[in-house]
C-alpha cells in the first residue's frame, strides 16, 4: 500500500519552522511542569494561624495538637519540655498539667513547641496568680496550686457550667470530713483513659491519682481548667452535698443523704441500660 507521507529523509524544516517547533516544545514542556505544581498547590492546606486549646484538655492532648499543627513528628512537643524553661510552681515539679491555659494562641512561621508551651504557662500564671484566685485559695485553706487541682477535677466532673460550683462544694465537703474524693475523673487520669464511669476494677488501680484508695487531692491537676472551673474552685456554691450523679443529660442530682444517692445511682444505671438497648436496636429499613 502506498501513502502520501514523505520519507523521514525527505522532511526538511525552514529556519522559521524550526523556531516555531522549538517554541511550541518549550510551551508544552512548561505546561507539563506547571500543571502538577498547580494541582499540588491546590491540594495543599494552608498552615493554621492559631491553635485553640479547649478547657479540660489534658497536657497529653495539648502536646499532640502542637505536634500536628506544627507538622512535627509525634512526641516532639513532649520531648521539648526539658528545653522550654517553663515558669511553673515548685509543687508542679516540672509537670505543666493544669498550667497549659485554655485559650487561642497565634502561630507565626518561627513558632516552636517551646515558645507555645511557655506562652500557655505565662497565660496561666497571669490568671492564677492574680488577687482573686490567690485570695480565694487562701479563703479555702489552700495554695494556688491546690486550687488549680480542684478546678481541674471540677472541669472534668461537672456536666454543665451551672453544676461547677456544686461539684466544687462536694470536693471541699469531703476533704473537710476526711472522706476520700472518689472521683471517677481521677481514676480515668490514672489509667490514661477518657473521662467516664469507673468500674470496680478501675478503682483498685494502684496510683496516687486513684481518689477511691488515696485520701486528699491528687498530686497534680488532672487537666487544664478554664476560667469557669477556676472560679467555681475558689467560690464554691453553698451546700452540704457529699454525693452527686448525672442521671440523664441536664439532670445531675446532688445530695448529702447516702441512701438518696444510692437511689439516684440506681436510676442512672437504669437510664444507661435503656440508652444502651436503644442504641443496640437495628435501625428501621
pLDDT in tens, 131-183: 899 999 999 999 999 999 999 999 999 999 999 999 999 999 999 999 999 99
Residue 229's pLDDT band, with cuts at 50, 70 and 90, is very high
pLDDT at 18: 40
- Min mean pLDDT across 33-37, 91-95, 224-228 is at 33-37
CA angle 224, 230, 235 (to 5 degrees): 160
Give 246 or 17, the one with higher predicted confidence.
Answer: 246
Beta-bridge partner residues of 253? 245
Mean pLDDT for the stretch of residues 218-229: 98
**What cell was used for 261?**
444517692
Say what the pTM is: 0.82
pLDDT at 254: 98
Convert the pLDDT of each residue in 78-114 to its tens digit.
999 989 999 999 999 999 999 999 999 999 999 999 9
State the Cα–Cα distance between residues 97 and 85, nearest whole angstrom: 15
Which of 121, 152, 279 has the alpha carbon at shortest distance from 228?
152
On average, the pLDDT of the chain sits at 86
Give 28 or 260, the one with higher predicted confidence.
Answer: 260
**What cell was used for 37?**
505544581
pLDDT at 284: 64
- Are 170 and 242 in contact by the 8 Å Cβ rule? The answer is yes
Q: Is the pLDDT of residue 12 over 60?
A: no
State the Cα–Cα distance between residues 30 and 262, nearest whole angstrom: 76
State the Cα–Cα distance between residues 56 and 97, nearest whole angstrom: 11
Crossing angle of helices 227-234/131-139, nearest 10°?
40
DSSP state of 6: P
State the Cα–Cα distance between residues 111 and 150, nearest whole angstrom: 32
**What cell was used for 42?**
491546590
The DSSP H or E segment spanning 255 is strand 251-255
Amino acid at each position: 500500500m502506498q501513502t502520501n507521507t514523505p520519507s523521514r529523509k525527505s522532511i526538511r524544516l525552514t529556519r522559521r519552522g524550526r523556531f516555531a517547533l522549538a517554541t511550541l516544545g518549550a510551551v508544552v514542556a512548561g505546561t507539563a511542569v506547571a500543571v502538577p505544581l498547580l494541582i499540588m498547590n491546590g491540594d495543599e492546606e494552608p498552615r493554621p494561624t492559631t491553635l485553640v486549646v479547649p478547657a479540660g484538655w489534658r497536657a497529653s492532648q495539648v502536646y499532640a495538637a502542637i505536634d500536628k499543627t506544627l507538622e512535627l513528628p509525634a512526641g516532639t512537643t513532649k520531648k521539648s519540655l526539658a528545653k522550654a524553661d517553663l515558669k511553673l510552681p515548685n509543687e508542679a515539679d516540672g509537670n505543666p498539667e493544669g498550667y497549659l491555659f485554655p485559650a487561642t494562641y497565634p502561630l507565626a512561621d518561627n513558632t516552636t513547641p517551646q515558645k507555645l508551651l511557655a506562652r500557655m504557662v505565662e497565660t496561666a500564671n497571669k490568671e492564677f496568680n492574680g488577687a482573686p484566685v490567690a485570695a480565694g485559695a487562701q479563703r479555702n485553706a489552700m495554695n494556688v496550686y491546690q486550687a488549680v487541682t480542684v478546678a481541674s477535677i471540677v472541669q472534668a466532673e461537672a456536666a454543665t457550667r451551672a453544676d461547677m460550683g456544686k461539684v466544687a462544694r462536694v470536693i471541699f465537703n469531703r476533704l473537710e470530713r476526711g472522706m476520700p474524693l472518689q472521683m471517677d475523673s481521677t481514676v480515668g487520669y490514672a489509667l490514661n483513659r477518657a473521662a467516664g464511669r469507673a468500674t470496680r476494677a478501675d478503682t483498685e488501680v494502684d496510683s496516687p491519682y486513684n481518689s477511691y484508695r488515696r485520701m486528699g487531692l491528687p498530686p497534680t491537676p488532672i487537666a487544664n481548667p478554664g476560667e469557669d472551673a477556676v472560679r467555681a474552685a475558689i467560690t464554691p456554691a453553698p451546700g452540704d452535698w457529699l454525693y452527686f450523679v448525672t442521671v440523664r443529660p441536664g439532670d445531675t442530682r446532688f445530695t448529702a443523704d447516702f441512701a438518696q444517692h444510692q437511689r439516684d445511682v440506681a436510676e442512672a444505671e437504669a437510664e444507661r441500660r435503656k440508652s444502651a438497648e436503644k442504641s443496640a436496636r437495628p435501625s428501621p429499613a
